[in-house]
Amino acid sequence: MKKSVLGITLLLSSSIAMASSGSYLFLETAYQGNLIKNKDNSYSLTLQNESKNIDYFADRPARKTGTMPLQEFVGLWKNKDIKNNFSDIPPNVAITLKDAAGQSKHFFAEVLNPTYSKDRVNYKLIVLSKNPVPTGKVKDLSLFFDGIHWNPGGFGR
């Protein structure tokens, strides 16, 4: 009986710990943007955002969802108090968009050094996929960022 109670207690406590420290994934959308290839073969993606928020959700088992200010999301690259912060371990992003000709394109990249100012966000991208990357004006963008671990008190609070 004692072994059963101990086993159930350990199972429940590990499930609670996993739920409170789950990995959070992020989704950003923008109507339009500009994608430029830099001299160092990286890219600069500038988005003009109608929304000042970014959506996030927790991976299993937590399954929590929410929104956060875009400016706070950009701060995840600067806050060294966050476990596995985006500055030390930059996230990957899957990007889908329409190029100037209206053709749907997608590619994957590592995201570095974002900046946010006056409803615009700029990301430095290191392309990881072999797919050709369109440059110039782009529209109907969706960016899916991989995770960061939840910290007690929130994202770096």
Average pLDDT over residues 134-157: 78
The string of pLDDT tens digits covering residues 100-122 is 999 999 999 999 999 999 889 99
* CA–CA distance, 111 with 77 (Å, rounded to integer): 10
The number of domains in the chain is 1
Range of the domain at 90: 23-147
Q: Are 113 and 91 in contact (CB under 8 A)?
A: no
- At 10, the pLDDT band (50, 70, 90 cuts) reads very low
Tokens of 106: 């997608």
Residue 8 in any domain: the answer is: no
pTM of the full predicted structure?
0.80
Q: Compute the mean pLDDT over every residue in the chain, rounded to the nearest whole number.
A: 82
Which residues contact residue 86 at a Cβ distance below 8 angstroms, ignoring those fewer than 6 apart?
76, 77, 111, 148
Residue 86 in any domain: the answer is: yes
CATH code, domain carrying 75:
2.40.30.230
- At 80, the pLDDT band (50, 70, 90 cuts) reads confident
Which residues contact residue 82 at a Cβ distance below 8 angstroms, ignoring those fewer than 6 apart?
76, 148, 149, 151, 155, 156
Residue 35 in any domain: the answer is: yes
Residue 155 in any domain: the answer is: no
